[in-house]
Amino acid sequence: MHTHSGRPAEGIFLIESLMAHEGKLPEDISGVTYTYGIHPWFLTEKNHKQLIISVENSVSYPNMIAIGEAGFDKLRGPSAELQLKVFNEQVTIAETCRKPVIIHCVKAWDELLSAQKNLKPSTPWMIHGFRGSVEMAKQLLSKGMHLSFWFDYVMRSESTGLMKSLPHNRIFLETDGADIDIRIIYEKVARDLAISVDELKLAVLSNFNEFFNG
């Protein structure tokens, strides 16, 4: 659901996250679609206007299927005020072009939930790299958000309880920027959920279709 370094392979469909500051644009590659957004780590007072223009331009590509990753990070990035401003601008673009939003959020759940309350988005939001508590996961789900789980966390035994506690219809799996085979992650999560890998694949496919097609 979210990768920065994935490669197409037989039986694997991937969504590559492009970051506006890199200047890379979607390519026409079989089995690959893209998201495009402004990552808070690389946002500055000097570049934010140009990066927003880049996001606006990216929506013309038919295989650019979501805005992001966009969001909030209290450990790295510019001021909270600038992060919020640019997040709101990206959500506005997503609403205009009717595309979902992929969210990066580190220690800023209150800010994210406040932004959702104020913006009242009509397109779905997904938290990528989630590794929080069961309580936080359920709160986000209760607000209509989807979750894609941090690859390293989901491979640990401590994630099993969280995975078992959540409904299957709003979860996704990812590798982010790691050199790890997504099939290994599916095998681990399928064991956690006591279902087959094929059943998990069908569940995630159904989630994908709902998330992107409403």
pLDDT at 214: 63
81 cis-preceded (ω within 30 degrees of 0): no
Report the first-to-last Cα separation within the chain, whole angstroms: 17
What strands, in cross-sheet order, belong to the sheet with 14-19? 14-19, 32-37, 64-73, 101-106, 125-130, 146-149, 171-173
pLDDT at 213: 87
Q: Radius of gyration over alpha carbons of the chain, in Å?
A: 16
pLDDT at 9: 86
Distance CA(211)–CA(207), nearest Å, equals: 6
pLDDT at 172: 97
Q: Which residues contact 54 (CB under 8 A, 6 or more apart)?
A: 20, 23, 36
User: Which fold is adopted by the domain 14-213?
Assistant: TIM Barrel (3.20.20)
pLDDT at 55: 97
Distance CA(89)–CA(180), nearest Å, equals: 33
Q: Which residues contact 198 (CB under 8 A, 6 or more apart)?
A: none
pLDDT at 70: 98
How do the pLDDT tens digits run along the chain, 214 residues long? 999 987 778 889 999 999 999 988 899 999 999 999 999 999 999 999 999 999 999 999 999 999 999 999 999 999 999 999 999 999 999 999 999 999 999 999 999 999 999 999 999 999 999 999 999 999 999 999 999 999 999 999 999 999 999 998 989 999 998 889 999 999 999 999 999 999 999 999 999 999 998 6
User: What's the pTM value of the predicted model, to 2 decimals?
Assistant: 0.94
pLDDT at 109: 97
The tokens for 203 are 């569940």
